[in-house]
Amino acid sequence: MTLSFKPMTTTRFVVEVEDIDLSKPVDGASVAALRKAINEHSILVFRGQTIDNDQHIAFSRNFGDLEIHTVKQYLLPDYPEIIALANRGENGTTPIDNGGAYWHTDISYKAKPPMGSLLYSLEVPPEGGDTLFADMYAAYDALDDDMKDRIEGVRAVHGYAARFSQMGEGGKRPTLSAEQLAEVPEVTHPVVRINRETGRRALYVNEGFTQGIEGMPMVESRTLVDTLNAHATQPDFVYDHRWRVGDLVFWDNRAVMHCATAYDTSYPRRMHRTTIQGDMPIA
């Protein structure tokens, strides 16, 4: 199988992977090419796919072990590796309009945040319900030298519990149990994260889960996080993915922040996400 990669942005950020059928096992050479591509491009788009849950999981496992999300209410009953982002629910899962209408990096509140996420669309509204992606390598590169110096060696505090109930959907999100809360204590990560394989530097803060900067007074810390977030989400760094049924988008959480957009929720929206485990971010 020879893969081809078609640019979807004028920068290196997003490519479409052509000539691949994800319902079939992917050979070793293609997996190696995809691993290389996710380091080079940060977002790989596969269009026109028809895959079942086993095939989604099998393809995802080519890139690492899979994360089981803390909020079990969203996991498909027979496939805990899959989080169902389904506004009507699915097989008893709690309905959810999207994975987060705020800028975030998946599960950055864990000590070892996931390397990547693979989101597959099964039902989409006629308009809206896009996912926006911000290129955190480009955002870092474009910072002025003063800001680069200011954030070098600095660590940010990430957390889930405090945010979870506020974040979403007019209180529709489930309440976290004591056991779930115990899974997500606050953690710290470097504000500038280095990709171990390529040495590239990315900004690693996000609106959703970054609560502040370690050791910095609250107001100053919040202002810095907001400034970095506003910088990273400028249109120059953002790709807008308009979903079609059968799209699978694989993004690199080490280098990408994302945010779902609004839509008319009288239409169904149903997406399945697998999440690949990652390692401890390094500065």
Contacting residues toward ligand SIN, per CB under 6 A:
85, 98-100, 106, 117, 119, 131, 258, 260, 271, 273
Smallest distance from ligand SIN to CB 119, Å: 6
> Which residue, judged by CB position, is nearest to ligand SIN in the bound state?
99
Smallest distance from ligand SIN to CB 220, Å: 29
* φ, ψ dihedrals at 222, nearest 5°: -65, -40
69 is known as an active-site residue: no
Comparison of 117 and 221: residue with beta carbon closer to ligand SIN: 117
273 is known as an active-site residue: yes
104 is known as an active-site residue: yes
Comparison of 97 and 155: residue with beta carbon closer to ligand SIN: 97
Task: List the catalytic residue out of 189, 200, 258, 272.
Answer: 258
Comparison of 140 and 263: residue with beta carbon closer to ligand SIN: 263
Smallest distance from ligand SIN to CB 151, Å: 25
Please answer whether residues 51 and 253 qualify as being in contact, where contact means their C-beta atoms are separated by less than 8 angstroms. Answer: no
Task: List the catalytic residue out of 106, 130, 135, 252.
Answer: 106
Task: List the catalytic residue out of 104, 163, 200, 272.
Answer: 104
Smallest distance from ligand SIN to CB 193, Å: 19
Distance of CA 199 to the CA centre of its chain: 20
Comparison of 99 and 212: residue with beta carbon closer to ligand SIN: 99
88 is known as an active-site residue: no
Q: Which residues are catalytic?
A: 104, 106, 258, 273
